[in-house]
Chains A and B, each alone.
Chain A
Amino acid sequence: MKKIFQIALGILAAIGGFVDIGDLVFNVQAGAKFGYELLWVVVVGVVGIIVYSEMCGRVAAVSKRPVFDAIRERLGFGVGLGALIASEIVNLMTLAAEVGGVALVLQLLSGLPYRVLILVGIAGLAVAIWVAPFDWIERIFGYGGLALLVFAVGAVKLHPDWGSVSHGFVPHVSSSDKLVYAYFAVGLLGAAMTPYEVYFYSSGAVEEGWTPKDIGLNRANSMIGYGLGGFLSFALMITAGALFLPLGIEPELIGTVALGAQVPLGAIGLLLALVGILFAVGGAAIDTCFSGAYNLAQFFGWEWGKYRRPSGAPRFTLAWLALLGLALLVIMSGIDPVLLTEYAVIFSVVALPLTYIPILLVANDRSYMGRYVNGRLANALGLFYLVVIGLVALSAIPLMILTNQGQG
Chain B
Amino acid sequence: MPLRAWICLVLLVLPTAACGGEGTLSTKAFQKQAESLQSLAAEGGLVAQGRADGRATGTFVSVQTEYLAKAAGKVETELGAAHASGGLEQKRKSALRLAGRVTDELGELHRAPDDRALAERLGSDLRDAADAAEKLAK
Contact = CB atoms under 8 A, between A and B. Distances in A.
B123 to A, nearest CB: 12
A404 B9 CA distance: 15
Nearest to B59: A111
B130 A270 contact: no
A220 interface: no
B108 to A, nearest CB: 17
Contact of A267 (B38, B42, B45, B55): B55
B1 A407 contact: no
Contact of A252 (B45, B55, B71, B134): B71
Given A110-B59, A351-B3, A401 B17 contact: yes
Contacts of A132: none
Given A259-B46, A397-B6, A401-B14, A249 B59 contact: no
Given A247-B46, A247-B130, A253-B67, A82 B3 contact: yes
Given A248-B35, A350-B6, A351-B3, A255 B60 contact: yes
Interface string A249-265: 11011011011001100
Contacts of A107: 63
Contacts of A326: none
Interface residues of B, number: 35
A401 B15 CA distance: 10
B17 A82 contact: no
B36 interface: yes
A248 B63 contact: no
Contacts of A110: 59
A266 interface: yes
A258 B56 CA distance: 11
B112 interface: no
Contacts of A267: 54-57
B62 interface: yes
A250 B55 CA distance: 22
A231 B46 CA distance: 26
Nearest to B58: A111
A79 B1 CA distance: 9
B121 interface: no
B35 A250 contact: yes
B6 A248 contact: no
B43 interface: yes
A239 B112 CA distance: 29
Contacts of B130: 247-248
B1 A82 contact: yes
A129 interface: no
A108 B17 contact: no
Interface string B60-74: 101110011001000
Given A248-B38, A248-B134, A401-B13, A259 B43 contact: yes
Nearest to B64: A255
B46 A263 contact: yes
Nearest to A271: B57
Contact of B59 (A109, A256, A397): A109
A86 interface: yes
Interface of A: 79, 82, 86, 107-111, 247-250, 252-253, 255-256, 258-259, 262-263, 266-267, 270-271, 274, 350-351, 354, 397, 401, 404, 407
Interface of B: 1, 3-4, 6, 9-10, 13-14, 17, 32, 35-36, 38-39, 42-43, 45-47, 50, 53-57, 59-60, 62-64, 67-68, 71, 130, 134
Given A263-B46, A267-B56, A401-B17, 5 more contacts: A249-B43, A267-B55, A270-B57, A397-B9, A404-B17
Closest 3 CB pairs of A and B: A266-B55, A255-B64, A247-B42
